[in-house]
Amino acid sequence: GIRTAHIEPKWAGYRLIDLEYMELQKWLTREVKGYETQKRVKELLLALLNAAIRDGERITINPASNLEVTAEKPEKHPDDLKPPTAAQYELIHAALPKYYAVILRDFAHETGMRPGEYAGLRLHCVDEEEMVVHIREILVNDGGRLRRQAAPKTKAGFRTVPLTTTAMGAIRFMMEKWQPKATHSRIGDGYDLHIEELVFRGPRGAALNVNNLARPWHKAIRQAGDAPEHPRAEMRNCRG
């Protein structure tokens, strides 16, 4: 727990009366990593010292009362935000250009795959006979530059996704347009994208990125006259 992992290894040998705000704050900032961990450590330490005050254990002021959580609060993941309603999706999809409707409506919406996953989908990971795709890697935005990254070998990352007839149709549309190669290149340093293997690409044949996904999506939102909180087409960092 938080107490045994963080508080006791550092402070178990100290007398309560010797604990000072500045030392506690310096420790919290420098040695306790992560916003949520710092928050939980602060809350528990505050509660423990308040209990000590109530029990008359030689302290009258809680040195943890003014501690500040200094770690950066993580941004809420897009998938945790409220998604558009079915009616909003229908309006937005209707406003998409045909090419992006194939990607965002016929494939992404049908499969629930994240942008980094379908942007990195390679032909050798498509099983037309079984109507599935195997997620083995993703494309991530690394400081404005696209990079290949192996999907994490968890249920959320390294997995197989079933295809509807509509989603399979989107793949076949892209296969006919781009004629992707079924070769199986290794990730290497990650920046050699091997675009010739990619199933989904931008309208000019480049790998999908934040601009050629987000721009038509937001334009469709404006044309539809509705702005949902959760634009799936945004690539952001393309993780997960």
Length in residues, the chain: 240
Taking the C-alpha atoms of residue 148 and residue 140, their distance in angstroms, rounded to an integer, is 6
Strands (E), the chain: 126-127, 132-135, 137-142, 145-150, 159-162
pLDDT at 240 over 70: no
Q: Which two tokens stand for residue 167?
A: 């989603």
Q: Which two tokens stand for residue 71?
A: 């770690």
Dihedral angle of Cα 162, 236, 157, 112, to the nearest 10 degrees: -20
What value does the mean pLDDT take over residues 136-141?
92
215 contacts: CB under 8 Å, gap ≥ 6: none
pLDDT at 228 over 60: no
Looking at residue 58, what is its pLDDT?
A: 79
Give the number of other Cβ atoms within 10 Å of residue 40's Cβ. 17
Q: DSSP character for 144? A: T
102-118 pLDDT, tens per residue?
999 999 999 999 999 99
Looking at residue 81, what is its pLDDT?
A: 58
SS3 label, residue 122: strand
Taking the C-alpha atoms of residue 38 and residue 25, their distance in angstroms, rounded to an integer, is 10
Looking at residue 233, what is its pLDDT?
A: 39
- The predicted model scores a pTM of 0.62
142-152 pLDDT, tens per residue?
878 999 999 88
